[in-house]
Amino acid sequence: MNKFSEIINIIRQNFNQPEDFIPLHAPTFNGNEKKYLNECIDSTFVSSVGKFVDRFEEEVAKYTGAIKAVVCVNGTNALHLALLLAGVERDDEVLTQALTFIATANAISYCGARPVFIDVDKDTLGLSPGKLEDWLTQNVEIRNQGAINKTTGKKIAACVPMHTFGHPCQIDEIISICNKYYIPVVEDAAESLGSYYNEIHTGTFGRIGVISFNGNKVMTTGGGGMLLFNNEELAHKAKHLTTQAKMPHKWEFMHDEIGYNYRMPNLNAALGLAQLEQIEGFLKAKRKLAENYKEEFKRLNVHFISEPVNSKSNYWLNAILLKDRNERDEFLKFTNEHGVMTRPVWELMNRLPMFSNAQCGDLSNAEWIADRLVNIPSSVILQ
Confidence tier at 14 by pLDDT (50, 70, 90)? very high
Domains present along the chain, CATH in parentheses: 3-28+279-376 (3.90.1150.10), 33-276 (3.40.640.10)
What was the pLDDT predicted at 114?
Answer: 98
Give Cα 358 distance to the centre of its chain: 22
Residue 383 has pLDDT above 70, yes or no: no
pLDDT tens digits for range 113-131: 999 999 999 999 999 999 9
Residues 258-275 as b/e (b if ≥16 CB within 10 A, e otherwise) read eebebbbbbbbbbbbbbb
Find the mean pLDDT for residues 354-364. 98
The mean per-residue pLDDT over the stretch 123-143 comes to 98
pLDDT by residue (tens digit) across 173-219?
999 999 999 999 999 999 999 999 999 999 999 999 999 999 999 99
What average pLDDT does range 362-375 have in this prediction?
A: 98
Cα–Cα nearest to 11, from 300, 275, 217: 300
Give the integer Cα–Cα distance in Å for 351 and 355.
7
pLDDT digits (tens, 9 = 90+) for 302-357: 999 999 999 999 999 999 999 999 999 999 999 999 999 999 999 999 999 999 99
Q: What is the DSSP string of 40-77?
A: HHHHT--SS-SHHHHHHHHHHHHHHT-SEEEEESSHHH
Burial of 321 (0-12, 13-18, 19+ CB in 10 A): middle
pLDDT at 49: 85
Count CB neighbours of 6 within 10 A. Answer: 15
For residue 48, the model assigns a pLDDT of: 84
Q: Read off the pLDDT band of 158 (50, 70, 90).
A: very high
The pLDDT tens digits of the residues spanning 287-298 come to: 999 999 999 999
Kindly report, residue by residue over 36-95, the tens digit of the pLDDT: 999 999 999 998 888 999 999 999 999 999 999 999 999 999 999 999 999 999 999 999
- Are 359 and 118 a contacting pair, CB within 8 Å? no
Mean pLDDT throughout 344-372? 98
Q: Does the structure show a pLDDT above 70 at 227?
A: yes
Burial of 326 (0-12, 13-18, 19+ CB in 10 A): exposed
pTM of the complete model beyond 0.75: yes
Q: How far apart are the C-alpha atoms of 332 and 33, rounded to whole Å?
A: 34
Q: Give pLDDT, residue 1.
A: 53
Residues 68, 237: Cα–Cα separation, whole Å: 11
Q: What is the mean pLDDT of residues 139-143?
A: 97
The answer to whether residue 145 scores a pLDDT higher than 90 is: no
What's residue 241's pLDDT?
96
Per-residue CA distances from 69 to 169, 248, 317, 336 (Å)? 22, 20, 25, 39
Q: Report the mean per-residue pLDDT for the chain.
A: 97
pLDDT at residue 23, rounded to an integer? 98
- Would the CA dihedral through 236, 239, 243, 244 be positive or negative? positive
Range 258-274 average pLDDT: 97
The counts of H helices and E strands in the chain are 12, 16
Query: What pLDDT was estimated at residue 336?
Result: 98
Average pLDDT (94-107) is: 98
